[in-house]
Structure 1
Amino acid sequence: MSRQIWWFGGLFLVALVCWQWFRPITDTPVNQQDYQPDFIAKNLSSVQYNQLGLPYRGLDAEYAEYYEPLAMTLMEKPVILLYSPDGQPQWQLSGDEGMINTNDNAVLNGTVVGRGLQPDALVRTLTTEYLELDFIKNQLRSNRNVQLNSPTFQAQGQGLLGKLDQQTVELLHETRATYFTTP
């Protein structure tokens, strides 16, 4: 081999080492995308109606961002109002932050408060830091500490499973309750 070939080979190796040495380092993964909202809403208010024209779900939020590729809406100060089959307000659920997707699931975070709005509601208030709502199965779920209050009892525990259509709420673990007698 001639010196010229060795010289070009060595120059190529030096260029390859310099390219790797001075290449900018990026911490972001290649697959991570920076999604921008498709639309932004302030003071959002929405009511959905069933086939009979009766309301079945309402949504209010101070601020909301909708992301089409993710099929979800991120919200600040969301308030979800759930109605009974006859169109009467049944539950009002609010949180500091929330997310709802097009598969009819919602998550509320922060200070989450649920209020039973029916006069005969067994639970008047529900308080937790995290609450999942499944609108298809009509269920509430949480894996955090939960407090339930009513005129006849106070209960707290870890985890919750609630069935909206049956008006039942079950604390799953470490449950403590105090019952009151009414005069």
Structure 2
Amino acid sequence: MNRTTLAICAFFGLALTLYWQVQDKRNKMALVVDTRIERPDFVADDLHTTEFNKLGLVDSKMSATHMEHYSMTNTTLFTDPVLLLYPQNGKAQWQITAKNATLEQQTNKVSLQNDVIINAIDIEEPLQSLETQQVTFDLETMIGRSEDPVIIKGNGFLINGLGLFADLNAEEITLLSEVEGTYEPH
């Protein structure tokens, strides 16, 4: 063999060795699990749940197209949730829909985000619907809060405001600021 043939063989041998080392490192890196990324403990599609209080009465019902539960943070994420809230008197009065929701089990608070719509179940209710982008409800006290713009529609009136405080047990809703409204008598 002459020098040229030996040089070509050495070059290809070196290239093959370097290629093998790079592939070996890639394979080892692929096996490393990033422990900072929390993965859901369980996932459900087309979910329907009912929560009961200590007396055995229905507290709330929720359905969603997708749900993920994370036990490290004790958080559950919902996609396209529909939440029915049952205040102290035991009858469902409000249906809440949104694009997303987060339930914090430690505080028993549900935060609904993106196109939140709260509809009255009873068509005779003076307040028929409320729209906002974010609202958080404490499921124990049935108190909701929002800092976002709010639109309230009712029988013959429309009210806009910024921020919300709602006590569903007391059936009181307060807009916090910048309140404007129109009323059309029947």
TM-score normalised to the size of structure 1?
A: 0.77
Aligned equivalents of 1:176 and 1:158: distance in 2? 10
Q: What are the superposed Cα offsets for residues 85-136 of structure 1, whole Å, 9 maximum, x if unpaired?
A: 3432111111001100112101111111001123553321000111111122
Aligned equivalents of 2:102 and 2:175: distance in 1? 24
Aligned to 2:91: 88
Aligned to 1:122: 126
For residues 17-96 of structure 1, the aligned pairs below 5 Å read: 33-96=36-99
Aligned equivalents of 2:160 and 2:141: distance in 1? 24
Matched AA of 1:157: G
Aligned equivalents of 1:118 and 1:49: distance in 2? 22
1:49 Cα shift?
A: 2.1
CA-atom RMSD in angstroms? 1.5
Aligned equivalents of 1:125 and 1:73: distance in 2? 26
Aligned to 1:144: 148
Secondary structure of 2:159 counterpart: strand
Aligned equivalents of 2:138 and 2:52: distance in 1? 18
Of 64-73 and 49-58, deviating more is 49-58
In the alignment, structure 2 segments of 5+ residues that lack a partner are 1-34
Aligned to 2:15: none
Matched AA of 2:152: L
Q: What are the superposed Cα offsets for residues 128-152 of structure 1, whole Å, 9 maximum, x if unpaired?
A: 1111111223211111110001103
Matched AA of 1:173: S
Aligned to 1:112: 116
Over the matched positions of the two proteins, sequence identity in percent amounts to 27
Matched AA of 2:142: N
Aligned equivalents of 2:165 and 2:177: distance in 1? 11
Is the 1:121–1:167 contact (alpha carbons within 8 Å) kept by the matching residues of 2? no
Matched AA of 1:36: R
Is the 1:149–1:155 contact (alpha carbons within 8 Å) kept by the matching residues of 2? yes
Is the 2:161–2:176 contact (alpha carbons within 8 Å) kept by the matching residues of 1? yes
Aligned to 2:13: none
Question: Is 1:170 aligned to 2:174, yes or no?
Answer: yes
Is the 1:89–1:118 contact (alpha carbons within 8 Å) kept by the matching residues of 2? no
User: If each structure's helix is expressed as a fraction of its own residues, which one has the higher value?
Assistant: 2
Secondary structure of 2:179 counterpart: strand
Secondary structure of 2:152 counterpart: strand
- Runs of 4 or more, structure 1, over 3 Å off, are none
Matched residues, number: 151
